Amino acid sequence: MPTPASPDAPFSLPRLLTAVTEAVPDRVALVAGPRRLTYRTLHDRSVRLAAHLVGAGVRPGEHVAILAFNRAEWVESFIGVLRAGAVPVNVNYRYVAGELRHVLSDSHAVALIAEDSLAAKVTAVRPDLPRLRHVVLIEDGGARDADLDGTDYERALATASADTALLPATSGDDHYLLYTGGTTGYPKGVLWRQADIFRAALERRAPGEPRARTPEDVAERAARCFPQRMLVLGPLMHAAGQWNALSMMLCGKRVVLSTDRSFHPDRVLELAHREGAHVVQLVGDAMARPLARHLLTEPGLCPELTSVRSGGTPLTPAVRALWQAWREDIALADAYGGSETGVCGSATAPEGQKREGDGDGRSFTMGGSIAVLDDSLRPLVPGSTRVGRIARTGRIPLGYYNDPIATARTFPVDADGRRWALSGDYGTRGRDGSVMLLGRGSVVINTAGEKVYPEEVEAVLKAHPLVEDAIVVPAPDERLGQRVTALVSLAPGAELGAAQLRAHCRGRLAGFKVPRSVHVVDRVRRTAVGKQDYRWAASVARKDTGTAGSAGAAPEHAAF
């Protein structure tokens, strides 16, 4: 007897995008630098890339790496790889040779699509990648490395067929792979089924609207939706940028990419203004603060901007206040989720309601598949004062690619046979079911037997009007084991003493959570997606001498 078709088979990402394209072919799907692509054009170019890959011998289920900055070709490549029945592998453009070797080897990538200037870093590790048999190079003004023996991207598309009948069939059971750096060790690949990532991260629907039952439902929603325009500032190589862009396209809306290779608030807002962006997707205070400050100097910019969405780290009350000073009715939303869990919830309360902890930026309304688990993987009841691990069940990843040990640790099975995806974060469950986010278990500070979650202390520090940014890490302490150490950058021209900062914290935190050491730094270093760089901060904290100093100056770092 033939094997019955999976009920999730229709929900492959290529089939969903094709359905949307057929519904709204002439809408603009993507703006990236000077390029403007309709859904029809994006479909055609991704099909041609898929045909090229199939012709080059890439087989269904094999992995194809993408190494590029935010640009139209990144999106074309991602969709094209999926249309070929293959699996895209996101590669961080900041990786050095050793990290590139690890990701390309660990993912078993058989092909690579890369910008010329970035591909040069692959040359040194190519001998260590015996599986890598095909390279496609995107012209970006850099020198092309002849040793890579790559095919030119535009030539590949120009000589390939646009006939979808030549491509393999796809299924919602096909894989989606997302490499994530985490806080320690080499990057790991989180392996999902496409139908599951669609449900867990990409499907947008109005409150009360049922889930799509078919690709035709997705297409019908796209046809009748308001063609909203979102400026995506997160890198497509990471979950936040990638998921926001894909979810907008699956709604038939328009994605505007910032193609700058560094963050310039004035240029970002010029782009948002020129393209009439309704929504800006960004990552925390590091992006939100300078954007809001610039808008306050030019309040007439971006008249169509109505919403700001932050992922990766919550917006602090001080930064929210800056945005509301620019425009009182601006909607500010924090999304909570991760590579291992998908999008879990939001810090935006339902109209007319108030969540416990509103105003601190760390209380999230979560979906029904989210729980806070005790040490035995039992969900804590609403209103419990116990701290537990935030987790998701149901549509979760298959595990980490090529890493069964890490899979067993992050995706455990409880006593009832229910499988969970642990987010790595700890929190508590409010009486109303909301989740209060405390922080990452991997960086929790154990001081004299008490646990301190850095994000809780960081939120309090950043609430001070003179504090620009903050990061909290442990430092070795002979008596306490670890002591709470803060690195703080101040607003321009600000002067702030240790006693003032500690007094500010004591009024809001238990005594053992108040930083014992504080360093003033020129800036708090962050990763490519705007998250705090805990490795750098820990290296500064280890040098802590505990000497007193003035907080008014801003040397490389001054401890007090």
80 and 175 assigned to the same domain: yes
- Return the beta strands (E) in 235-297 as ranges: 254-257, 279-282
Each residue of 91-148: pLDDT tens digit?
999 888 888 999 999 999 999 999 999 998 999 899 999 999 999 999 999 889 888 8
Domain boundary among 426, 442, 458: 442
Each residue of 155-172: pLDDT tens digit?
999 999 999 999 999 999
Domain boundary among 166, 193, 220: 193
Number of folded domains that form the chain = 3
Q: Does any domain span residue 5?
A: no
Based on C-alpha coordinates, what's the Rg of the chain? 24
Range of the domain at 367: 360-442
510 and 408 assigned to the same domain: no
147-156, 221-230, 341-350: which range is least confident on average? 341-350
Q: Does any domain span residue 110?
A: yes
- Return the beta strands (E) in 307-419 as ranges: 307-311, 331-338, 342-346, 363-366, 370-373, 388-393, 399-400
Domain boundary among 442, 472, 502: 442
CATH of residue 537's domain is 3.30.300.30
SS (H, E, C) 162-207: CCHHHCCCCCCCCEEEEEECCCCCCCEEEEEEHHHHHHHHHCCCCC
CATH of residue 80's domain is 3.40.50.980
364 and 385 assigned to the same domain: yes
User: pLDDT higher for 457 or 67?
Assistant: 67
Cβ count within 10 A of residue 136 = 26
CATH of residue 367's domain is 2.30.38.10
Distances (CA, A) of 102 to 99, 150, 554: 5, 21, 38
Taking alpha carbons only, the member of 120, 171, 130 closest to residue 150 is: 120
* Tokens of residue 202, six digits: 């990409």
Report the alpha-carbon angle 94-424-62, nearest 5.
55
478 and 531 assigned to the same domain: yes
338-342, 434-438, 496-500: which range is least confident on average? 496-500
* Tokens of residue 23, six digits: 């519904």
Each residue of 278-297: pLDDT tens digit?
999 998 888 999 999 999 99
488 and 460 assigned to the same domain: yes
Contacts of 218 (CB under 8 A, 6+ apart): 16, 19, 20, 203, 212, 250
Alpha helices per DSSP H over 343-453: 404-410
Please say whether the beta carbons of 194 and 175 come within 8 A: yes
Average pLDDT of the segment spanning 504-509: 88
Task: Express as a percent the part of the chain with pLDDT over 90.
Answer: 66
56 and 174 assigned to the same domain: yes
Q: Does any domain span residue 92?
A: yes
Interatomic CA distance for residues 31 and 75, integer angstroms: 11
* Confidence band for 4, pLDDT divided at 50, 70 and 90: low
The DSSP secondary structure of 112-147, one letter per residue, reads: EEEEHHHHHHHHTTGGG-TT--EEEEE--SSPP-GG
Q: Does any domain span residue 12?
A: no
Q: Does any domain span residue 296?
A: no
501 and 553 assigned to the same domain: yes
457 and 388 assigned to the same domain: no
54 and 140 assigned to the same domain: yes
Interatomic CA distance for residues 363 and 429, integer angstroms: 9
Q: Give this prediction's pTM.
A: 0.85
* Confidence band for 547, pLDDT divided at 50, 70 and 90: very low
Q: Could you give the 3-state DSSP secondary structure of residue 206?
A: coil
481 and 385 assigned to the same domain: no
Q: Does any domain span residue 159?
A: yes
